[in-house]
Amino acid sequence: MYDTLTVEKKHDGDQCTIYVSGVLDYSTMDPFNEEIEALHHGVNNVTINFESLEFIDSTGIGAIINLVHEANDKQFKVELEGINDDMQDLFETIGVFQILDSLQ
Amino acid sequence: MFHRNMRFDEDTSNEAKNKTLEREIKLARTIQMRLLNGNEPDIENGSVTGVSIPARLIGGDYYDFYLLPNGKVRIILGDVMGKGIPAAMLMILTRGAFRSAAETTKGPAETLTAMNHAMYNDLRTLGSFVTVICVDWCPNTKELTYASAGHDLPILVQADQTIRELPTNKGVMIGGLEDATYHDGSVTLEEHDLLFFYTDGITEAQDEEGDMFRIDRLRQVLIDHCHESVNDVQEAVTQALTSFTGNIQQKDDITMVLLQVNDGEADISSYNSPVL
């Protein structure tokens, strides 16, 4: 059995919300990266919704961090929502929120 | 006939390429293992051991011991983002940064700051990062100084089989922020305390139902075996993981380092310890 990731993107004006469900890891990254690369130039706010995410590994976290750095370079905002307790602990330990706070 | 010959040539060519690739991967594995397997550190009043089990032929986990002129030993354990060959290449970069920083820095926090400074541009260019835990252990005072760059703190099991939580110390991963700074925490260890460093390949190992090993199972194994030698505790953790995962293929690199306080004893062993 293989892990899978489903990515759904919803636009509302300059706001784009990306809903990720399943597993965001080394083996499932491609759909997420494709959606990030396809973000429109007019987007000023990107929200990643993790409510239906079951697991994220270091490669998945790396993609989120890269998005935050890209947002800093291109002057748009990134928000993370729907984070469960395990993910909250993981992001705090690794320093994801420190990067968000520092760059935005 | 022509097409058949073409196919034959193509197959032969692919076979040769695959053999070359296989040989080069094995050579890369040899390089990595030789860098990880070397002389054992000689410390007083304690025992240390470590092991790294890559999920593939080569891996991105890293640990190292560095003896300091003041008698302390600096221990580092790290986890490079990703897996396989790309992670292994960055693991070598991490090793170089640590070895260089360890020579000139006074403590773990300074070491992590120097490593981040040295590696930040490369890691940002590659869209990667490394989580690292670094400690200085003083065998004479039993003081443990520690700093984290995005990595879980080690688990401290006391002689009475209770877990002592280390005061929180959180720093951003290496490669996360250009001007990241880190701070040292410190505790004084007691006789027979066991300190267990680990990567998430242990806690996230999955069984056949997809359940993870998790920190609670790991803590229980350590509590059950904390009176044994570091090699036996290491073996107990490895056995518990093997038993838990059954026939499921290992997905992530597994690395652990153990330090046990033993007054007056100098029992050093590591079957995968790095060159000093």
A58/B204 touch (CB, cutoff 8 Å), yes or no: no
Q: By C-alpha distance, which of B148, B66, B70 is closest to B109?
A: B148
* Best residue of A27, A32, A58 to probe chain B, by most B CBs closer than 10 Å: A58
At B84, the amino acid letter reads G
Tally of domains within chain B:
1
Give the Cα separation of B251 and A85 in Å (integer).
23
Residues of A in contact with B152 (CB under 8 A): 93
Give the Cα separation of B183 and B20 in Å (integer).
46
B129/A99 touch (CB, cutoff 8 Å), yes or no: no
Q: Tell me if B65 sits within 8 A of B274, measured CB to CB.
A: yes
Give the Cα separation of B105 and A72 in Å (integer).
32
Residues of A in contact with B252 (CB under 8 A): 57
Can you give the residue range of the structural domain that contains A17?
A: 5-103
DSSP structure class, residue A95: T
Render B168-212 in DSSP notation, one character per residue. Answer: P---PPBTT-TT-----EEEE--TT-EEEEE-HHHHT-B-TTS-B
Look at residue A37 and give its three-state secondary structure: helix
The answer to whether position B17 is within a domain reads no
Max Cα–Cα distance, chain B, nearest Å:
80
User: What's B64's domain CATH number?
Assistant: 3.60.40.10
Q: Tell me if A70 sits within 8 A of A77, measured CB to CB.
A: no
Q: Considering only CB atoms, which residues of chain B are within 8 Å of chain A?
A: 79, 81-83, 124, 127-129, 131, 148-152, 170-173, 176-177, 180, 200, 204, 252
Residue with tokens 């065998």: B139
The answer to whether position B7 is within a domain reads no
The answer to whether position B219 is within a domain reads yes
The answer to whether position B274 is within a domain reads no
Give the Cα separation of B231 and B237 in Å (integer).
10
B82/A66 touch (CB, cutoff 8 Å), yes or no: no
Joined together, the tokens standing for residue B201 give: 């390949």
Enumerate residues 6+ apart whose C-beta is below 8 A from B50.
B63, B65, B77, B197, B234, B255, B256, B257, B258, B270, B272, B273
β strands within chain B, DSSP E: 46-53, 61-67, 73-80, 130-137, 143-149, 155-157, 163-164, 185-188, 194-198, 254-261
Question: So what's the pLDDT on residue B272?
Answer: 37
B176/A26 touch (CB, cutoff 8 Å), yes or no: no
* Best residue of B177, B199, B211, B216 to probe chain A, by most A CBs closer than 10 Å: B177
* Best residue of B81, B125, B152, B206 to probe chain A, by most A CBs closer than 10 Å: B81
Instruction: Give the gap in angstroms from C-alpha A62 to the nearest C-alpha of chain B.
Output: 6
A61, closest residue in chain B (CA to CA): B81
Residues of A in contact with B148 (CB under 8 A): 93
Provide the ipTM.
0.93
| pLDDT digits 0-9 by tens, B1-36 | 455 556 656 667 888 889 998 898 889 888 888 777
**Across the 276 residues of chain B, what is the mean pLDDT of every consecutive 10-residue run?**
58 85 89 72 87 89 92 95 90 94 96 98 96 96 97 98 96 98 97 97 94 97 97 97 94 94 57 37
Name the residue among A26, A61, A102 with its Cβ closest to that of B83. A26
B82/A93 touch (CB, cutoff 8 Å), yes or no: no
Tally of domains within chain A:
1
| pLDDT, chain A, mean | 93
Question: So what's the pLDDT on residue A2?
Answer: 66
| Cα–Cα distances in angstroms (integers) from residue B178 to residues A1, A99, A103, B22, B260, in the given order | 40, 10, 11, 37, 35
Which sign, positive or negative, has the C-alpha torsion B153, B237, B91, B138?
Answer: positive
| pLDDT digits 0-9 by tens, A42-99 | 899 999 999 999 999 999 999 999 999 999 999 999 999 999 999 999 999 999 999 9
Give the Cα separation of B93 and B174 in Å (integer).
12
Q: Does pLDDT of A15 surpass 50?
A: yes
Can you give the residue range of the structural domain that contains B158?
A: 38-261
Question: So what's the pLDDT on residue B42?
Answer: 73
B81/A66 touch (CB, cutoff 8 Å), yes or no: no
| pLDDT digits 0-9 by tens, B77-110 | 999 998 888 899 999 999 999 999 999 999 999 9
Q: Tell me if A29 sits within 8 A of A58, measured CB to CB.
A: no
User: What's A95's domain CATH number?
Assistant: 3.30.750.24
At A56, the amino acid letter reads I
| pLDDT, chain B, mean | 90
